[in-house]
């Protein structure tokens, strides 16, 4: 895999209240798989329905995150992950795993917001829907699968814009912050771009 884009939707302000996850797998420079799952959060309290349209009724019979984890882990373990506002999605993953007593996957992350800001600085803002519209990417905003796909497309368009052939080269050229998680650590750690060991 070149990288995997990830997006979470949450039921409420608690970071462990993931109610949907979307993933887009990029391999060979193109999106080869997009998928999403609804998740039953620990508490069926849904003040954020107005954002994403997901209700407690929709997820009450869906699997909890720990039940989904064996399916999700192969997409994340050892991969380069992309998220639009990486601190949010990474925080949701960490908080949800902690809630269920599950270990963090060892992964690297880059942020598609930072990528967009450094690639197209003249845009009025760098919200996902704004950048997607600029790039001509169809987006049903706050649908987890669509949001993950759009984040993936930002990276793919940035690679073309900067005329580089790998994400590693993109990280070094802009440069981008690279965040690393390890199973023995719980925080977000950035390392200098010249120290990157990503292969994508």
Model pLDDT, residue 189: 53
**84 lies in some domain:** yes
Give every CB contact of residue 157 below 8 A, 6+ residues apart in sequence.
119, 135
Tokens 């704004």 belong to which residue?
130
- At 70-88, the pLDDT tens digits run 999 999 999 999 999 999 9
- At 153-183, the pLDDT tens digits run 999 999 999 999 999 999 999 999 999 987 6
**145 lies in some domain:** yes
**54 lies in some domain:** yes
Total of domains in the chain: 1
Nearest residue to 179 via CA among 73, 88, 72? 88
Model pLDDT, residue 181: 87
Position 197 confidence tier, pLDDT thresholds 50, 70, 90? low
The domain in which residue 99 lies consists of 3-195
Is the model's pTM score more than 0.95?
no
Work out the angle between the directed axes of helices 86-99 and 65-76 (0-180°, nearest 10): 130
Q: Specify which residues 81 forms β-bridges with.
A: 4, 109
**200 lies in some domain:** no
pLDDT at 198 over 70: no
**Which CATH number is 86's domain given?**
3.30.420.10
**160 lies in some domain:** yes
- At 136-153, the pLDDT tens digits run 999 999 999 999 999 999
33-45: average pLDDT: 98
pLDDT at 192 over 50: no
**185 lies in some domain:** yes
Model pLDDT, residue 183: 64
Q: What tokens were used for 64?
A: 């909890």
**150 lies in some domain:** yes
Give every CB contact of residue 195 below 8 A, 6+ residues apart in sequence.
none
Q: Express as a percent the part of the chain with pLDDT over 90.
A: 90
pLDDT at 194 over 90: no
Position 186 confidence tier, pLDDT thresholds 50, 70, 90? very low
């Amino acid at each position: 895999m070149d990288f995997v884009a990830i997006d979470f939707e949450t039921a409420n302000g608690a970071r462990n209240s993931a109610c949907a996850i979307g993933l887009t797998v990029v391999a060979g420079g193109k999106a080869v798989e997009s998928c999403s799952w609804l998740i039953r959060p620990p508490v069926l309290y849904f003040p954020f329905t107005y954002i994403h349209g997901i209700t407690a009724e929709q997820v009450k019979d869906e699997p909890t995150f720990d039940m989904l984890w064996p399916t999700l882990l192969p997409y994340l373990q050892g991969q380069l992950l992309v998220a639009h506002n990486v601190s949010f999605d990474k925080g949701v993953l960490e908080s949800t795993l902690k809630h269920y007593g599950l270990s963090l996957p060892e992964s690297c992350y880059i942020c598609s917001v930072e990528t967009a800001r450094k690639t197209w600085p003249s845009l009025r803002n760098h919200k996902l829907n704004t950048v997607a519209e600029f790039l001509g990417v169809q987006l049903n905003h706050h649908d987890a699968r669509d949001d993950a796909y759009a984040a993936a497309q930002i990276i793919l368009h940035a690679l073309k814009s900067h005329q580089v052939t790998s994400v590693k080269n993109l990280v070094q050229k802009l440069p981008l912050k690279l965040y690393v998680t390890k199973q023995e650590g719980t925080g977000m750690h950035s390392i200098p771009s010249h120290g990157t060991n990503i292969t994508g």
